[in-house]
Amino acid sequence: MRALLYANTDGIANLYHGSGVQTRVLLDIWRETARKLSSAGCDDWRLHVAVHDWETPSTDYRVDSAVLHDSLAKAREGDVRIHRLEHTPHTKLWSYPRWAELSSSVTALLSRLAEEYEQVLFVGVDVPYSLVREHCENSLPPHKLEKITFALSFHTSALVAGQTWLPGREALERDYVRRANEDASTFITTLTPFFDRKIELDYGARDEAWMRLGHGIAPRSANLTPYPREKAVEIAGSFGIPRGVPIVVHFGRDHPMKRIPFAIEAVARVGRPLHFVLIASTPANAEGIADAPHADQLKQELDSYTYLTHFERELPKALAQLPETVAFLLSAAGEPMGQIPQEVACWTDSAAPVVVAPEDGGYGDQISDAETGFTFDVHSVASCTRAIERAMKATLNERKAISVKMKNLVHENFDASTKLCRLLMSVESGEHGMPRRQAGAEAK
C-alpha cells in the first residue's frame, strides 16, 4: 500500500484561503480517485490529511465549528485519516517558530507512515511545511527516508504583492526551491501557469523540480451541485437580498491583494441601478457590521448593498441561480490561483451570471474576454466599470453561452480527481523520484 500525506493550515477546522478549498476538494474527490486508481490496476493508496491541532488556540486562525463538523464527516465518509499537528498555543501559526514546530510534527508522522506503507508522497502547502524535507533528512534513518517523496505546493509566496513581510519566509522558500532543483526526491507541485512562471522567475525553479498537479474542483460534489430554484430564492431572501434589480457579487477573503476598495469604486461608477453583494471574510471577524473595514466606503459610495464579513458560500451559490445576478466580480491583482470562476460555472443552472475578472494572474489563465467571461485592465477602475456594464448589457442568451463555455472548460481542465489520479499514477510508476532522475543522468 501507498500513502498520500497532505498537510495544510486551512480547510479542516477553518476555511479562509483558496488553499483551504483545495483541502476540502481533496476530501470530496478521494473515494472517486481511489476507484479510478483501482480500475487502472494501481496499488491501494490511502489519504492522510494533517493540519495544526484545532484544539490548541492560535492567534491567526479561529475554529469554525460548522466547517470542522463538515470536514470530519467528509473524512469519515471518504475513509480519510485526519491528523492534528502539535504547536505552541496562543501564537501565530504564520511565523518561523511555528513552521519549525509543524514541520517537526509532520516528520514524526512521516516516520510512522514509512513503517506502515511501501511508499509515501508528502505534499505540504506553502512555507509552514517548507522545513519538512530538512527535518526528515536530519532525523529519519535511510530506510525510511528512501520511501518518502517530498513536494511543496506554493499557493502564495513571500514575493507576491501585498503580502505581509514575515522574517525568514523568503529565505526558506528559496532554500526549498534550491533543494527541489538538486534533490531527486524533492519537488514543487504546479498550481497555475501564471504562478508557476512566477516561482520560476522569482526563485529559479527548473523544469525537473516540478510535479504536474495544478488546482481543480470536484464538479460532481454536493458543494457544487446547484440548489433547487426554490431553495436558492429562500436563501437569498433570508439575507435580505432584493429582487427585481441587477445583482453584482464579490466574495472571498478580505486581504489587500483582493483590492476590495477598487471593486467598490468600480461598482459605484456603474451608470445604472444595481445591488452589490460583498462577502469579505477575515480570520478574526469584526464584531459588528459597522466596524467592518469596508463599511464606510460602501455607505458613502453605494445606495444598495449587502455586506458580510464572515465566511459564506451558501449565499453566493444561491445567487448564482437568480436571474437578477448578472456578474461575479473578481478584483485581485496577481491572484495565484483563482478558483471562484470554476465554482460559479458549476453553480449556475437556468440563470447565467458571468465572471468579470482582470486580465491578470490565475484569472488570465482561464477567462477569455466575451468567451468565458468579461475582462478588464487590472490597473484601471474605469476599465473594470466598463466590464461590469458589458455584463449587465448582455442578453440572457449571451450570458448563457458564456456560462456554458466556462462550464465546459471546468470539466475539461479543472477536474481535480483526474489530475490527482495522473499524479499518483506517475509517482507509483517511478516518474517522480530517484528512478526517473537516475535514468536522466545516465542518458546524459
pLDDT at 442: 42
SS3 6: strand
Least confident of 5-14, 181-190, 252-261: 252-261
Give the pLDDT score at 292.
81
Same domain, 299 and 358: yes
Q: Does residue 47 sit in the same domain as residue 141?
A: yes
Mean pLDDT of 369-386: 97
pLDDT for 288 equals 45
Residues 276 and 205 in one domain: no
Query: Domain check: are 399 and 423 in the same one?
Result: no
DSSP β-bridge partners for residue 153: 125, 189
Number of domains the chain contains: 2
Structure confidence at residue 443 (pLDDT)? 37
Residues 358 and 424 in one domain: no
Which domain range does residue 186 map to? 2-218+415-443
* Section 393-398 average pLDDT: 94
What pTM was computed for the model?
Answer: 0.90
How far apart, in whole angstroms, are the C-alpha atoms of residue 57 and residue 60?
A: 9
Q: 73 and 179 share a domain?
A: yes
pLDDT digits over 104-146, tens only? 999 999 999 999 999 999 999 999 999 999 999 999 999 999 9
CB 128 within 8 A of CB 156: no
Q: Tell me, what CATH number does 181's domain have?
A: 3.40.50.2000
Predicted local confidence at residue 281, as pLDDT = 83
299 shares a domain with 276: yes
Within this chain, do residues 404 and 431 fall inside the same structural domain, yes or no? no
Mean pLDDT, to the nearest integer, of 315-328? 96
* pLDDT one-digit tens code per residue, 57-72: 888 888 989 999 999 9
294 with 350, same domain: the answer is yes
Q: What is the pLDDT of residue 59?
A: 85
Per-residue pLDDT, averaged over 191-220, amounts to 94
Average pLDDT over residues 237-250: 96
Q: Which helix (DSSP H) or strand (DSSP E) does residue 306 occupy?
A: strand 305-308
Same domain, 342 and 229: yes
Tell me: do 396 and 426 sit in the same domain.
no
Same domain, 117 and 90: yes
DSSP alpha helix (H) spans, 63-192: 65-78, 96-116, 132-139, 142-145, 169-182
- Asked whether the predicted pLDDT for residue 103 surpasses 50, the reply is yes
Residue 436 has pLDDT above 60, yes or no: no
Which band of pLDDT confidence, cut at 50, 70 and 90, is reported for residue 245?
A: very high
In the predicted model, what is the mean pLDDT of the chain? 92
